[in-house]
Amino acid sequence: MYLASSPSNFAGAEMPYNRLRTSLALFGKPLAELEPDEKQRVYAQAEREYQIEQLILEAPEAAGVMVSEVELTNALQEIKGKYQNEEVFLASLEEGGLDEGLLRQALARQCKVNTILDKVDAASSLEISEVDIGIYYHAHFDKFQQPERRNAYHILISINEDFPENSRPKALERIHSIAEKLERKPWQFEDLAQRHSECPTAMRGGRIGLVRRGQLYPELDAALFRLHPGQLSEVVESEIGFHVVLCKTIEPPHTISLKTATPHIRKTLAERIRESQRRQWIAGLMPYR
């Protein structure tokens, strides 16, 4: 099944949706929580976006573009998935002056706009030469400097005075017991992390991942970057509890080569070109308004 609606039917649904979408994008909060000056900015930007979208919907390239029921349902489910449950989702819609029916109508319009823009993109040429890639690489050479990273693991026993077993003395006793076991059998780190660590990383054997300096709590950061590969730290206390840290491997600082960087650069340049071409195409619609 495909959906087709006339532009005149959209304003009542789309404008509240545009305002809610803009509010979340600009300020990360719904309209009801905005200050007066923030709300004024949101309303102005939402109105501009609506007018641009209307131009897109009336462009020759929009002819024959339809939105399938499947596409619309997927878009709706994607939005619902961002909320804790159905009740919170519906309350948020009501707060923004919407209901699920109006949201579906607004999403149909947005999906059609996106499909038209994809059609315009597909018709545009993308010529990215090796010279273009080389120029970008050398002009942004600092972006391709990879600092030292360490493959970090930890075991956490948290401090929570509401639970006797997690009182500060008990937590300290538990982490020292784990540290003593690791001194005798360091190869059991991942197994002990899975059984005892109170961090979600326990599911991965305590693996935090590759980290640079400054990414962890200061105490953990200092401990990790004092270690040699395969070495364990002493017990470390942070604001969330006690840890034992393992530095499994060290990736030294290095420069990402042009060959390795090329796919990323090509994608970046393609996105820039498409964005520029979209802007030019939309600007070309303005005189016909």
Number of domains in the chain: 3
Same domain, 70 and 153: no
Distance, C-alpha 23 to centroid of its chain: 18
| Structural domain containing residue 198 | 148-251
Same domain, 236 and 170: yes
Same domain, 186 and 268: no
Q: What is the pLDDT along the chain (289 residues), one digit of tens a residue?
A: 434 444 434 456 678 888 888 888 898 877 778 899 999 999 999 999 999 999 999 999 999 999 889 999 998 888 888 777 888 888 878 877 888 888 888 899 999 999 999 999 888 888 899 999 999 999 999 999 999 999 999 999 999 988 888 999 999 999 999 999 999 999 999 999 999 999 999 999 999 999 999 999 999 999 999 999 999 999 999 999 999 999 999 999 999 999 999 999 999 999 999 999 999 999 998 865 4
Same domain, 154 and 218: yes
Distance, C-alpha 63 to centroid of its chain: 34
- Predicted structure pTM score: 0.63
Same domain, 166 and 235: yes
Same domain, 7 and 117: yes
For 217-225, the CB contacts below 8 A with 24+ separation are 219/243, 220/152, 220/154, 220/245, 224/150, 224/152, 225/150
Residue 134, φ and ψ in degrees, nearest 5: -65, -40
Same domain, 10 and 35: yes
Identify the CATH number of the domain in which residue 157 sits: 3.10.50.40
Same domain, 193 and 264: no
Buried b (16+ CB within 10 A) or exposed e, 180-208: eebeeeeeebbebbeebbbbebbeebbbb
Positions of E strands within 127-177? 145-146, 149-158
Same domain, 234 and 275: no
Q: How many residues does the chain have?
A: 289
Distance, C-alpha 229 to centroid of its chain: 31
Same domain, 48 and 158: no
Same domain, 66 and 195: no
3-state secondary structure of 10: coil
